[in-house]
């Protein structure tokens, strides 16, 4: 008999997603872990099942594909997996001037960071509403609160995630379903290398994926609207930045993304 919520985590093979899988397994919760690398997922499955005695289902899938959300949902339905916690963690960024970056990469980023996230949420909240129980955690960023020169599309996608999550939280509260947006600052994950962010100074002081995952998971369980892992950034973005001239904010934002090496 099922006693703990089943969590589906995208981007679970590395970084924040992998650490969230560990946290959920420690709570004796079964998992569906999703990412492109089947070998990494299988290694994590073996680790979690042996250490915590939970059941871990591996689904290897490229979530940038337009049909990915529907395919993933169909797969979990076919396996009779009832998803109680949906953790939309998969996402990526990319550094550089917008007009010089490859458009196809930007489109993939929008597909994964926004479209797949939105489709997965729409598909899985239906069951949560009918059961009057469920939690959605969308991994966003402190980048969602300001425009981001040199990461223009990435910052915009995260602005969407934070806005969407808050609106959905208000809509779903009457159904006893919570939606939380995790808004971390720089995190020490593969994000920096895949997004060509080496040499960007703020990533030299990035927080550990484990610490960020703990904040996000705890915020989800509590039903928080927004979860921040850095109180200083939260204060700056909520109380200082809105009072500054817009052009100054843009200049500061660009400077924070410029490479020093």
249 sits in which H/E element: helix 246-257
Catalytic residue among 18, 45, 135, 158: 158
- SS3 percent helix, strand, coil of the chain, rounded to 5, is 55, 15, 30
CA–CA–CA angle 71, 144, 83 (5° rounding): 30
Asked whether the beta carbons of 59 and 32 are under 8 A apart, the reply is: yes
How many Å apart are CA 197 and CA 226, to the nearest integer?
25
Asked whether the beta carbons of 260 and 216 are under 8 A apart, the reply is: no
Q: Is 207 a catalytic residue?
A: no
Q: Is 158 a catalytic residue?
A: yes
Catalytic residue among 154, 155, 160, 217: 154
The catalytic residue positions are 154, 158
């Amino acid at each position: 008999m099922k006693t703990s919520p089943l969590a589906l985590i995208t981007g679970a093979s590395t970084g924040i997603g992998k650490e969230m899988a560990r946290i959920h397994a420690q709570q004796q919760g079964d998992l569906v872990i999703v990412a492109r690398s089947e070998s990494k997922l299988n290694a994590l499955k073996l680790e979690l099942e042996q250490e915590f005695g939970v059941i871990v289902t591996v689904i290897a899938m490229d979530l940038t594909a337009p049909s990915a959300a529907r395919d993933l949902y169909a797969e979990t339905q076919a396996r009779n997996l009832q998803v109680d916690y949906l953790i939309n963690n998969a996402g990526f960024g990319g550094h550089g001037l917008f007009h010089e970056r490859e458009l196809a990469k930007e489109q993939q980023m929008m597909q994964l960071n926004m479209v797949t996230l939105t489709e997965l949420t729409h598909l899985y909240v239906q069951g949560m509403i009918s059961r009057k129980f469920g939690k959605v955690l969308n991994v966003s960023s402190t980048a969602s609160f300001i425009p981001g020169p040199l990461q223009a599309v990435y910052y915009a996608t995260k602005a969407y995630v934070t806005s969407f999550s808050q609106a959905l939280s208000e809509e779903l509260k009457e159904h006893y379903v919570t939606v939380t947006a995790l808004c971390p600052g720089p995190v020490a994950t593969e994000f920096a290398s895949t997004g060509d962010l080496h040499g960007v100074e703020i990533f030299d002081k990035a927080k550990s994926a484990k610490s960020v995952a703990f904040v996000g998971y705890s915020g989800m369980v509590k039903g928080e609207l927004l979860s921040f892992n850095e109180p200083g950034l939260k204060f700056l973005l909520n109380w200082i930045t809105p009072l500054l001239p817009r052009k100054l904010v843009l200049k500061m934002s660009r400077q924070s993304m410029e490479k020093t090496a």
